[in-house]
Amino acid sequence: MMMEYTLFPLCEYAVTVRFADCIDEAVNEVVHGTATRLEAAKKEGIEEIVPAFSSLTIYYDPLVIDYIGVGAWLRKNIRRPEQATRRLARTVVIPVCYGGEFGPDLSDVARFHGMTETEVVTLHSTGRYRVYMIGFSPGFAYLGGLSPRLATPRRPVPRTKVPAGSVGIAGGQTGVYPLATPGGWQLIGRTPLKLFDPHREKPSLLAAGDIVVFQPIGDCEFARWRGEHD
């Protein structure tokens, strides 16, 4: 799919390419297709290509290439036929221990929707979620695809500390806290995986464009994962 786009300078060393201004799977698909293509065509002075929901931003060295040069490079490569550039989305399975001490808000979420806890877990863990973008904090993935039946308002008073790995719901979004931070999401479970580890070659477990599947696990498995991977 080819889309119209607008181009504007963000600062002396970055330009943003905007395809639309919405959260939409087809638009996001174009963003990732374009990012992949531009990544393959990188040239001297082009430093980083970072996809967002409906735009991507190209960071460059202004001492090597200027805004006009980046624009010309972009126009040349953005129009290439898509053959062989569309990569298959990677699926990442994230084990989650739902409820109990790891998901203190699971019962509230179930009550809010008039469901049982098991129904919430089944609905959440049968979804396929798309990583629209990484942002907000290191390793934090904005996921699309939460069942509207699970949309739940944030907690009225945010927690001062949410443990790393917590899986939560906020409005129509679901996500995993990569780091222990304050937060107001409804916590339904926790994963033993490290979403962000600065000492890994790829510090962020998830990348924009990935597909995420949540796999329910029990307490024992959670402890075993931790034991094996820490």
Partner 1 sequence: MIDVIESGFFTTVQDSGRAGYRHAGVPTSGAMDAWAYRLANALVGNSGDEAVLEATMAGPTLRFRVEAVVAVCGGDFPCALNGQPISLWKPEAVQSGDVLEVGVCRTGFRAYIAVSGGIDVPPVMGSRSTYVPAQLGGLAGRPLRRRDVLPVGAMHPFTAARSIRWGLSRLAASYIHGKTKTVRVIPGPEYDEFTPESRRQFFAARYEVTPQSDRIGYRLSGPALALVRERDMVSEAVVFGTVQVPASGQPIVLMADSQTTGGYPRIAQVAAVDLPILAQARPGDCLQFQLVASEEATRLYKEQHHRLIRWMAAIRRQWEGEW
Does residue 142 belong to the site contacting partner 1 (CB under 8 A)? yes
As measured in angstroms, the least distance from the Cβ of 118 to partner 1 is 33
Q: Is 179 left (phi over 0), alpha (psi -120 to 50) or beta?
A: beta
Whole-Å CA distances, 162 to 13, 127, 181: 35, 24, 5
- CB closer to partner 1 out of 103 and 144: 144
Does residue 8 belong to the site contacting partner 1 (CB under 8 A)? yes
Binding to partner 1 in span 89-128, by CB under 8 A: none
As measured in angstroms, the least distance from the Cβ of 37 to partner 1 is 15
Taking the C-alpha atoms of residue 158 and residue 176, their distance in angstroms, rounded to an integer, is: 16
One character per residue 17-56, x = contact with partner 1 (rule: CB under 8 A): -x--xxx-----------------------xxxxxxxxx-
Taking the C-alpha atoms of residue 3 and residue 121, their distance in angstroms, rounded to an integer, is: 38
Does residue 82 belong to the site contacting partner 1 (CB under 8 A)? no
Look at residues 216, 213, 215 and name the one whose alpha carbon lies nearest to residue 90. Answer: 213
Instruction: Pick one of 9, 153, 158, 171: the residue that binds partner 1 (CB under 8 A).
Output: 9
| Span from 74-82, 150-158, 197-205, 214-222 in contact with partner 1 (CB under 8 A) | 197-205
As measured in angstroms, the least distance from the Cβ of 67 to partner 1 is 7
* Residues 59/48, Cβ–Cβ less than 8 Å: yes
Look at residues 189, 162, 167, 175 and name the one whose alpha carbon lies nearest to residue 98. Answer: 189
Q: Return the amino acid letter for 178.
A: P
Which residues lie closer than 8 Å to 108 by C-beta, 6 or more apart? 186
- CB closer to partner 1 out of 69 and 127: 69
Does residue 85 belong to the site contacting partner 1 (CB under 8 A)? no
Taking the mean position of all CA atoms in its chain, how far away is CA 193?
Answer: 15
As measured in angstroms, the least distance from the Cβ of 217 to partner 1 is 25
How many of the chain's residues bind partner 1 (CB under 8 A)? 47
